[in-house]
Structure 1
Amino acid sequence: MSSNSVVSSKSSKESSRPGAGNTKQEDSTSPDFIYGGPFIKVEKPEPFFDTATPVNLLLQGTFKKSFAYYSLKGRLPIILTKVIDYLSRDGSRIKSTHNASDEDIRGYIQYITKLKNDLLTNKKYDLLTVDTPEANRWNEWILSSENSYYFTNTWVFSECYVYRRLREGCELSKSLKNFDPFEEQKEHALKSNIELMCVVADKLVTMLPASGKDKRKADFVTLLKICLWANKCDLSLSMGEPVSFTADGNATKSQTKVNVAPVIDPFQMIIDLKEKLLVDDSAKIADQVIAKAENMGKAVEGPPPELPIAKGSASSKGSPEPASPTEPEEGVELPKVPCPAKMTTPQAVIFDIVCDNSAYELFSDVCVAHFLVSQKIVQKVRFHVKKIPWFVSDVTPRDFNYLLQQCKNATYRREVPSDPAPEGAAEPRVVTSDNLRTVAQQWQQYIDDGTFIVMCDDFWTSPHVFKDMKRYDSDVYRKLQFAVAVLFKGDLNYRKLLGEKNWNPTTGFETALQGFTPAPVIALRTVKADLICGLPKGKYEQLSKINEKWMETGDYGLIQFCPKSEPLKAGERPCPDYGDTCFGTVCPTHTDL
């Protein structure tokens, strides 16, 4: 089956096919279709099929029983409506915070209203009107799309386009350029899970001191699973409603907690949800990441490689060395490091995390990073976040900083009555934020000294799947190649890893990556969309008999690993950081590599 608009059919058979010959107008996404005579090919609009997405096709809103269709027709319009409601309800506060006018608020509401209507009626994409290099690239992608309508293009393109347009509405305003329409929801989500963070911090401090091989591996595996189940807290899935955990490990809309509520134990949750973890490569990840990190560490500590001076550099032409951004005083020798574009060994052992949601999930990501650094498995951790507000709860640099500030200044304390002991009343359990503040202070130090690096390249808010990363942003791909492994969090990243394709559920993870192996790839994802790979034979059918919508609930999880990586070779052109001039072996040191 193809998404093209040309179909060959017999009129008598086509009229009985789902979605064909249907003259009932449900909405403008359900056009009438006129078919020609037998064996005659006719041009007609893209039909909508009353089926789920067939295997091996790309996800798109064409298939009315798919999560893509539901998301475009239901979830996204509700999310946009809630932004409009927020602007209307809290307009006075927003105006005060951003020095905005009534006209600014009205203009943004009108902009979102049109965007929502265009989405619901399956209009053609509008081009972006802001004049920036990134917006111009978006327009090129829109113009080059085979389908430039919301429901007939790939789901990931349309979803990303909606959030990019939502951002453009702020960019077009004089005063709302720094406005995040999801800021309030993300802050509330963090505060509603502060106790959970205190419990994890109490356990984390016992994992940080140097430990033996077996304990180190067991702790690594445990933190990966904490990190996985934290992905349940997704404000996009809940359409913007704050999410917190219940005692049974389920994510639910946040409610006011009563003092007698039990303490949520995410470590017990790992045990309780064991049967919901459909693929578990965590032990393999721990073994292979630690082994590769040790080998990379030896390479990093070795003598610097003797690399040729880059073609086009001043030294290769026999002329004086050009001034660099870190030109030292006279008599001080420049650092002898290779150009990042020519480097084949990183300057440090680095672990990358491509983040998903903010608040508690981001907290769990940073816990993994802290453990890896504290155990001296790696020397640096790079967090790849979104440059702009994205998919409601995705992490931005501001969200990362907000997490640090809230944890450093936390003053949480709660006494929880214990179950009565046979001899009498047991001592109450006390949950405090003491250890949370302690680890957060260390995180701040790691940020200050460059051990933790927060990066926000434009590629992460592009509509492209990861198999196309090298084509659209080879510089980001090369950055990932310096990592000992790259951990991809959440459902959107998983969809992009799998190329937004509805694979046969038993297809192997490496096959589904379609050659995307800049470094060993780790995927942690609770299942919230109807695509998957790597399942044992028969598992998909078994779960579908229990609940045909099981892939949309976030109740099940995956920890998958592909150990392959593309060798890091010297690039053919300079890195983009210093323009067209390459400084060769006297390039200023890159702290992010």
Structure 2
Amino acid sequence: MAEPPDFLSARDVGSFAYITMKDRTPQILTKVIDTLHRHKSEFFEKYGEVGMEAEKKAISLLSKLRNELQTDKPIIPLVDKWADTDIWNQYLEYQRSLLNDSDRKPSWFQSPWLFVECYMYRRIHEAIIQSPPLDDFDVFKESKDQNFLESQESVNVLCTYLQQLTIEDLDENQLKDEFFKLLQISLWGNKCDLSLSGGESSSQKTDLLNSLEDLKPFILVNDMQHLWSLLSKLRKTRKKTSIVRVDFVLDNSGFELITDFILADFLLSSRLATEIHFHGKMIPWFVSDTTLRDFNWVMEQVKHGNHEHQAKCGGDWEKYVQAGRWVYHDHVFWTLPYAYCAMFQVAPDLYAELQKACLIIFKGDLNYRKLAGDKKWEFTVPFHEALNGFHPAPLCSIRTLKAEIQVGLPPGLAEQLTASDPSWLTTGKYGIFQFDGPV
């Protein structure tokens, strides 16, 4: 049997992992420190001297973290008392056990990229929870909210489109066309990623609906037909009482979350699904990832939007939540450094929850990295193989490419892309719908 491929790592000077650890992550940490600093007077007003001391403490912990990262220091155990602290520290021990030399310790630039990047965000969380009363302050909230507020025109266009769609009048082919259209909207919504932009604004300014035809050539793997076959078959064969559940493992809040809500709304309205389950993060993560607070905040903003179609969408979504047809879940596993093939062992309860789905949609780049184990796979390796035994239910990755990992491409395509567009893997310009499951 062939040796499994090596992990992506910042050891490879010049790689995207290296550039991320050398430039993008220190930039993100600097912005976090700056955010705390800008809220200084607010902390003082709210908490008095205690708030000022907490702000100083958090900044000092984050400055120490930035220094450790930039000087490639050994990774140190977590000292907080949060739900996952022991799991993280065991994982750190495991990483140490992989090094041949017992005196060596895993460090920022020598360890697997997925591990150290996740660890950095977990350390940001540690700095905040160790600084009460600021322990529930979301250092990324402002940029997530700004992303949504700056994308208002695009949000209005999508909400108007959805509200004016008379789904009951569509024949089978028209329904399929609309499904494909909203899948593509959800794909290109994934371009709005604040960890890629180092926390700089990445709001959606263009009208995506009118750009879909122009963007089609940039879809490298297009398994949309498999999704249609699966869901339309279930729609035709199910009994009145049976449940068709579609799960979204979410990525970014803001505009991308709106595109996911629009798709989820369409799935219910068209009866391609009877209930939608959303999986988000328990703590602020990778700058713009969705937490429960973001999920509720975005819905609330849409509901109170000063645009009739937007407000109608927000009202509908809130009703879905109240009726239990939209359900939000979070789980500590989503912010651990494990690839998803370890979920069955590490979080059997989450794996069992996902097994209830008829289809799981994994949004975005970090989910793809975890699905494929963040390894240096050959581009032509089948997606099924890269999943390494992770098959709780039929699943599909919807992502724009922002990391040097992609599998399941036809022979020759990667070489062709590299020749014409050397940074094709990391700019978010290309996208995929990659399905795994019985067809």
User: Normalised by the size of structure 1, how large is the TM-score?
Assistant: 0.70
Contact 1:358 1:395 in 2 (8 A): yes
Q: C-alpha distance in 2, partners of 1:375/1:457?
A: 29
2:255 counterpart of 1:360: yes
| 2:419 alignment counterpart | 545
Q: C-alpha distance in 1, partners of 2:427/2:94?
A: 34
- Which residues in structure 2 correspond to 1:110-125 (within 5 Å)? 110-125=60-75
Contact 1:98 1:176 in 2 (8 A): no
Q: C-alpha distance in 1, partners of 2:142/2:25?
A: 18
| 1:196 alignment counterpart | 154
Q: Percent identity?
A: 37
Q: C-alpha distance in 2, partners of 1:292/1:67?
A: 41
Q: C-alpha distance in 2, partners of 1:179/1:406?
A: 20
Letter in 1 for 2:16: F
Q: C-alpha distance in 1, partners of 2:70/2:46?
A: 32
Q: C-alpha distance in 2, partners of 1:394/1:95?
A: 28
Letter in 2 for 1:200: L
2:36 counterpart of 1:77: no
2:276 counterpart of 1:381: yes
Letter in 2 for 1:158: V
Q: C-alpha distance in 1, partners of 2:388/2:147?
A: 35
Deviations 1:366-424 (A, max 9, x none): 1111111111222110100000000000000000111011101111xxxxxxxxxxxxx
2:196 counterpart of 1:237: yes
Deviations 1:331-389 (A, max 9, x none): xxxxxxxxxxxxxxxxx321100000000100111111111111122211010000000
- Which residues in structure 2 correspond to 1:419-434 (within 5 Å)? 433-434=307-308
Q: Secondary structure at the match of 1:233?
A: coil
Q: Secondary structure at the match of 2:23?
A: helix
2:104 counterpart of 1:131: no
Letter in 2 for 1:485: L
Name which of 358, 371, 384 aligns with 1:510.
384
Contact 1:87 1:94 in 2 (8 A): no
Gaps of 5+ in 2: 100-105
Q: Secondary structure at the match of 2:433?
A: strand
Deviates further, 353-362 or 531-540: 531-540
Q: CA deviation at 1:495?
A: 0.5
2:146 counterpart of 1:272: no
Measured at CA, do residues 111 and 218 of structure 1 come closer, stay the same or move farther in structure 2, by a change above 3 Å?
same
Higher share in helix? 2
Name which of 499, 503, 507 aligns with 2:373.
499
Q: C-alpha distance in 1, partners of 2:230/2:68?
A: 48
Gaps of 5+ in 1: 4-54, 247-263, 302-347, 412-432, 566-593
| 1:282 alignment counterpart | 224
Contact 1:207 1:371 in 2 (8 A): no
Structure of greater Rg? 1
Measured at CA, do residues 121 and 409 of structure 1 come closer, stay the same or move farther in structure 2, by a change above 3 Å?
same
Letter in 2 for 1:354: V
Deviations 1:219-258 (A, max 9, x none): 1111110000000000000000111235xxxxxxxxxxxx
- Which residues in structure 2 correspond to 1:65-214 (within 5 Å)? 65-96=14-45, 101-145=51-95, 146=98, 148-207=106-165, 209-210=167-168, 211-214=170-173
- Which residues in structure 2 correspond to 1:301-316 (within 5 Å)? 301=242
Measured at CA, do residues 156 and 449 of structure 1 come closer, stay the same or move farther in structure 2, by a change above 3 Å?
same
| 2:239 alignment counterpart | 298
Q: C-alpha distance in 2, partners of 1:483/1:543?
A: 35
Q: C-alpha distance in 1, partners of 2:114/2:240?
A: 39
User: Normalised by the size of structure 2, how large is the TM-score?
Assistant: 0.93
Letter in 1 for 2:368: Y
Contact 2:8 2:376 in 1 (8 A): yes
RMSD of the alignment, in Å? 1.8
Q: Secondary structure at the match of 2:385?
A: helix
| 2:305 alignment counterpart | 410
Q: Which consecutive aligned stretches of 4+ in structure 1 deviate over 2 angstroms post-superposition?
A: 93-100, 206-212, 292-295, 297-301
Measured at CA, do residues 97 and 379 of structure 1 come closer, stay the same or move farther in structure 2, by a change above 3 Å?
farther
Contact 2:218 2:430 in 1 (8 A): yes
Contact 2:150 2:204 in 1 (8 A): no
Letter in 2 for 1:218: D
